[in-house]
Amino acid sequence: MNSQNKEKPVNFIRNIINEDLSSRKHEVIKTRFPPEPNGYLHIGHAKSICLNFGTAKDYNGFCNLRFDDTNPSKEDIEYVNSIKKDVKWLGFNWDGEVKFSSSYFNIFYICAEELISKGLAYVCFLNNDETREYRGTLKNSGTNSPYRNTSIEENLLLFSRMKVGDFKEGECVLRAKIDMSSSFMCMRDPTLYRIRFQTHHQTNDDWCIYPMYDFAHCLSDAIEGITHSLCTLEFQDNRRIYNWILENLDDFNTSNRPHQYEFSRLNLEYATTSKRKLKLLVDNNHVISWNDPRMPTISGLRRRGYTAASIRDFSERIGVSKVNSLTDISILESAIRDDLNNIAPRTMAVINPVKLIIENYPEGKVETLIAPIHPKNDSMGTRDIFFSREIYIDKEDFIEIAPNNKYKRLAINKEVRLRNSYIIKATHFDNDKDGYIKTIFCTYDPDTLGKNPSDGRKAKGVIHFVESSKAISAEFRIYDRLFLDSNPSKLDDLSSSINPNSLEIKNGFVEPNLSSATAERAYQFEREGYFCRDSESEELVFNKTVGLRDTWSQ
Ligand code: ATP
Ligand code: MG
């Protein structure tokens, strides 16, 4: 189906938007994707990106890319750059310039002063332990901080002293004065600002007080004129602070102010979608880098051979709801398989090579044969493949004695068709000194190129091959699940679930036309699966994207 003609998905967020447009609450839809630059984006973020950018696009609205950069101790410009690259690669364009919460620090400061002036915020000198104790529990209401009744003038002065660095890190914070007996813990005088003597990647050393997420997020949304602020379910309770802050600030308490809506986050089988945990995998060398092809990061998936279209399609297939669940990895894999089946050029690669000699084929002759690039799409054209007396086939495609009549590969005295080529019959083989098969000897039937034998014989199976003199050596990286547990995030120690065999390296041969393969461009290695050239290797290295069929659920 042409994506242009695809029916737009229905979900509860679109229902809300439809109502807001028909009641004229909003004329234009504006969303944002607000990553914190403290790691690389993962497949969970892709869901949020597709939702935010995709929804805005479908309603002819706008979507901002805004870095939620309020915690300098964990953030880095490397992450800012990788996030921009990943969003673009996924096929989305943000409205105008990239936005940074840090560019609103002055406005946030003025808003904080407004809350203090209204008696709605105060500087609190309780330490961490005391603050926790005063907060109470779900069962018991909290206790007012002894600093809650400091005068407005004094609080304004103390806050300005926080700003100029008169207090140490952790000595005091600015808190909202809301309700210490609220049944929502997050409403028990939440922290709005804390002190951090850290250099920030955007504002350098301009600030030593940094706003908390709950304060910065709603204000950033309001400043940018966001209409629908979409976030994940764990922020459901925090919606109360979001509203409280905007309602208590004169400039932002408007009828068209932003509203927060929560949807369920993506949890993917055999993966973790927590930047913190992904960073641990990198830091503890369980994987090579953030873009290791085993990582569920966008850059890892890209290097593995996933296409942007397949990730967008996946996001659509899983839909948007308010129910948390664990998404079956086969949904992601079928999305990429469906895409690559249509677009990937076909080629042959021998991953576990064994030499095969065709004894009745003339020595020194190399024949050029024509093979289609795609069996169902003639417009993709043809490629030259080669044939001679010596070829490589896969070890797995030969056995001395066929186990039964259904056996479809090569065995002594059995015939098989070489893909895009002739029918051959195995006659005998050599072993090396360790007893492994070294060379298989065959004969070929010269009258079977592109046709069945005239005497009515039929070769049961087809195997792939690469001609030996033209073959190019290549490394193949075959990936398995990174985790043994289908839901590793529920484990205390993620490393206990690492699959020690998540990467297998093989050395074999590919058709000569692959010597110039473009990195990250998918090929179907016939009978083997989808592969793409690795983007980080000088040599010819291919990453296996996914097999041809779903073998996990069998
Ligand atoms: P992490 O725990 O991985 O750091 P986060 O929510 O802190 O996740 P942010 O950078 O703050 O990461 O996320 C940016 C946006 O992406 C947020 O709106 C967040 O709700 C959304 N998001 C993050 N993880 C997921 C997920 N697994 N599924 C859907 N959306 C997600
Ligand atoms: Mg976050």
- For ligand 2, the distance from its centroid to the CA atom of residue 36, given in whole angstroms, is 6
DSSP 3-state of 438:
strand
- Identify the pLDDT of residue 6: 61
Choose, from 194, 239, 275, 477, the residue flagged as catalytic. Answer: 275
Separation CA 241–CA 237 (nearest Å) = 8
Tokens (6 digits) for 264: 């369920």
Q: Are 266 and 273 in contact (CB under 8 A)?
A: yes
- Identify the pLDDT of residue 3: 44
- For ligand 2, the distance from its centroid to the CA atom of residue 223, given in whole angstroms, is 20
- For ligand 1, the distance from its centroid to the CA atom of residue 275, given in whole angstroms, is 8
| Residue 312 CB coordination number (10 Å) | 21
Nearest listed ligand to the Cα of residue 265: 1
β-pairing, 191-195 vs 173-176, is: antiparallel
- Identify the pLDDT of residue 551: 67
DSSP 3-state of 334:
helix
- Identify the pLDDT of residue 5: 46
- Ligand 1 atom, smallest distance to 267 CA: 27
Residue carrying structure tokens 């002190």? 195
DSSP 98: -
- For ligand 2, the distance from its centroid to the CA atom of residue 35, given in whole angstroms, is 7
Handedness of CA 347, 351, 353, 356 (dihedral sign): negative
The residue whose C-alpha atom lies closest to atom 22 belonging to ligand 1 is 45
- For ligand 2, the distance from its centroid to the CA atom of residue 46, given in whole angstroms, is 14
Separation CA 7–CA 59 (nearest Å) = 13
- Identify the pLDDT of residue 209: 98
The residue whose C-alpha atom lies closest to atom 2 belonging to ligand 1 is 274
Q: Are 474 and 523 in contact (CB under 8 A)?
A: no
- Identify the pLDDT of residue 4: 46
Separation CA 116–CA 525 (nearest Å) = 66
The residue whose C-alpha atom lies closest to atom 29 belonging to ligand 1 is 265
Nearest listed ligand to the Cα of residue 48: 1
> What does pTM read for this prediction?
0.94
Axis-axis angle for helices 12-22, 43-58 (nearest 10): 30
> Which among 369, 394, 391, 399 is positioned nearest to 525, based on CA atoms?
394
Separation CA 486–CA 502 (nearest Å) = 14
**H/E segment holding residue 544:** strand 541-546
The residue whose C-alpha atom lies closest to atom 15 belonging to ligand 1 is 35
| Best residue among 48, 290, 322 to mutate for probing ligand 1, ranked by most atoms within 8 Å of CB | 48
| Cβ < 6 A, ligand 1 pocket | 34-36, 44-45, 47-48, 68, 231-232, 265-266, 273-276
Active site residue 458: no
Question: What type of residue is 376?
Answer: K
Q: Are 232 and 33 in contact (CB under 8 A)?
A: no
> Which among 216, 131, 207 is positioned nearest to 170, based on CA atoms?
131
- For ligand 1, the distance from its centroid to the CA atom of residue 44, given in whole angstroms, is 7
Q: Are 509 and 349 in contact (CB under 8 A)?
A: yes
Q: Can you say how many angstroms the Cα of residue 431 is from the centroid of all Cα atoms in its chain?
A: 46
| Best residue among 45, 92, 239, 267 to mutate for probing ligand 1, ranked by most atoms within 8 Å of CB | 45
- Identify the pLDDT of residue 467: 98
Nearest listed ligand to the Cα of residue 50: 1
Contacts of 267 (CB under 8 A, 6+ apart): 44, 273, 324, 325, 326, 327, 487, 489
- Identify the pLDDT of residue 82: 98
DSSP 3-state of 353:
strand
Question: What type of residue is 16?
Answer: I
Active site residue 36: yes
Q: Are 432 and 438 in contact (CB under 8 A)?
A: yes
Question: What type of residue is 455?
Answer: D
Nearest listed ligand to the Cα of residue 71: 2
- Ligand 1 atom, smallest distance to 275 CA: 3
- Identify the pLDDT of residue 492: 87
DSSP 368: E
Q: How far apart are the first and last CA of the chain?
A: 29
Separation CA 223–CA 215 (nearest Å) = 13
Q: Are 482 and 288 in contact (CB under 8 A)?
A: no
Choose, from 14, 57, 196, 265, the residue flagged as catalytic. Answer: 265
- Ligand 1 atom, smallest distance to 273 CA: 27
Active site residue 538: no
Axis-axis angle for helices 43-58, 308-318 (nearest 10): 80
pLDDT in tens, the chain (554 residues): 344 446 777 899 999 999 999 999 999 999 999 999 999 999 999 999 999 999 999 999 999 999 999 999 999 999 999 999 999 999 999 999 999 999 999 999 999 999 999 999 999 999 999 999 999 999 999 999 999 999 999 999 999 999 999 999 999 999 999 999 999 999 999 999 999 999 999 999 999 999 999 999 999 999 999 999 999 999 999 999 999 999 999 999 999 999 999 999 999 999 999 999 999 999 999 999 999 999 999 999 999 999 999 999 999 999 999 999 999 999 999 999 999 999 999 999 999 999 999 999 999 999 999 999 999 999 999 999 999 999 999 999 999 999 998 999 999 999 999 999 999 999 999 999 999 999 999 999 999 998 999 999 989 899 999 999 999 999 999 999 999 999 998 998 999 999 999 999 999 999 999 999 999 999 999 999 999 999 999 999 999 999 998 765 54
Q: What is the dihedral of CA 506, 512, 516, 519, to 10 degrees?
A: -30
Tokens (6 digits) for 85: 């690259």
The DSSP result for 177-230, as a single string, is: ---TT-SSGGGSS-EEEEE----BTTTBTS-SEEE-HHHHHHHHHHHHT-SEEE
Q: What is the dihedral of CA 376, 380, 386, 391, to 10 degrees?
A: -50
- For ligand 1, the distance from its centroid to the CA atom of residue 326, given in whole angstroms, is 16
Residues whose CB is under 5 A from ligand 2 (ion)? 36
The residue whose C-alpha atom lies closest to atom 16 belonging to ligand 1 is 45
